Amino acid sequence: MNFEVKLFAGAREIVGKDLVIVSLEAGATVADLRIALGQSIPALRETIEHVKFAVNHDYADDDTCLSPDSEIACIPPVSGG
Amino acid sequence: MPRLTFEPIDSACLLTEVQSARAGAVVLFLGTTREYTDGRRTVSLEYDCYRDMAQQKLEQLQAEACQKWSLVHCAIVHRLGDVDLGEVSVAVAVSAGHREAAFAAGKWLIDTIKEVVPIWKKENWHDGTSEWVHPGISE
């Protein structure tokens, strides 16, 4: 099952794209997504340990289940202000 | 409603928005872009955001502050895109019955905005390099 993940700021710059598609099993969680992203994009491996993920515009815990129609985003530590 | 804008922030206008005969106190916080950070010189900054989520988070924080401190009015604006040195990158203006509530709400708002709203700044350093600022991630 394919999941689209939005990327921003440093994560987007490392990958060179603002969207990546990650293949995961049905019922996959945020924790599974974190592992899969680190494995499929080695350059992201260090950053991925520090990011949060948002599902449908809300921060999601590691055990949150993902659905392919959810809006999923990788949120590196924020620095607004 | 909080605003995300590519245009310069008019802080005088924000003050007018929140002033009211029902309020005895107005607090305005301006975050401005700094030239030196830990001895390194910046030439300009750039702000990026996850727009839909940032807007939603700002609205949630505004509503929470209004309720918790019984604010009369609350205005929040954050800049996006390129921002020159010394310009306002974020503005929070609140009005309340009394100063204790206005100060507390203003401080909580800017602290929480910096902690949870998906906005990022990129430092363009004087030496020609640049980097996205991600607190907690080493270069």
Query: Could you read off the pLDDT of A42-54 as tens digits, one per residue?
Result: 999 999 999 999 9
Strands A52-55 and B88-96: unpaired
Kindly state which CATH superfamily the domain B3-126 is placed in: Molybdopterin biosynthesis MoaE subunit (3.90.1170.40)
**Is there a contact between A54 and B47 if contact means CB atoms under 8 Å apart?**
no
Instruction: Supply the pLDDT for residue B139.
Output: 56
Question: If you search the block for the tokens 């409603």, which residue do you land on?
Answer: B1
**Is there a contact between B134 and A73 if contact means CB atoms under 8 Å apart?**
no
Q: Mark B29-68 as b/e (b = at least 16 C-beta within 10 Å).
A: bbbebeeeeeeeebebbbbbbbeebbbbbbebbbeebbee
The answer to whether A51 and A26 are in contact (CB under 8 A) is no
**Is there a contact between A47 and B134 if contact means CB atoms under 8 Å apart?**
yes
Per residue in B36-73, pLDDT (tens digit) is 999 999 999 999 999 999 999 999 999 999 999 999 99
Q: Does A16 touch chain B (CB under 8 A)?
A: no
Per residue in B12-37, pLDDT (tens digit) is 999 999 999 999 999 999 999 999 99
**Cα separation, B119 vs B43, whole angstroms:** 20
Instruction: Supply the pLDDT for residue A68.
Output: 85
**Is there a contact between A78 and B118 if contact means CB atoms under 8 Å apart?**
yes
Chain B: residue nearest A58 by CA?
A: B53
Q: Does B118 touch chain A (CB under 8 A)?
A: yes
Instruction: Supply the pLDDT for residue B9.
Output: 98
Question: If you search the block for the tokens 């350093």, which residue do you land on?
Answer: B125
The nearest CA of chain B is from the CA of A79 a distance in Å of 5
Q: How many CB atoms lie within 10 A of CB B84?
A: 10
The nearest CA of chain B is from the CA of A28 a distance in Å of 23
Kindly state which CATH superfamily the domain A2-75 is placed in: Beta-grasp domain (3.10.20.30)
Chain A positions in Cβ-Cβ contact with residue B110 (cut-off 8 Å): 81
Element (H, E) at A20: strand A19-23
Strands A2-6 and B88-96: unpaired
Task: Return the percentage of chain B with pLDDT > 70, whole number.
Answer: 99
Chain A positions in Cβ-Cβ contact with residue B49 (cut-off 8 Å): 8, 80
**Cα separation, B29 vs A58, whole angstroms:** 26
* Domain layout of chain B by residue ranges: 3-126
Q: Does A75 touch chain B (CB under 8 A)?
A: yes
Q: Is the pLDDT of residue B138 over 70?
A: no
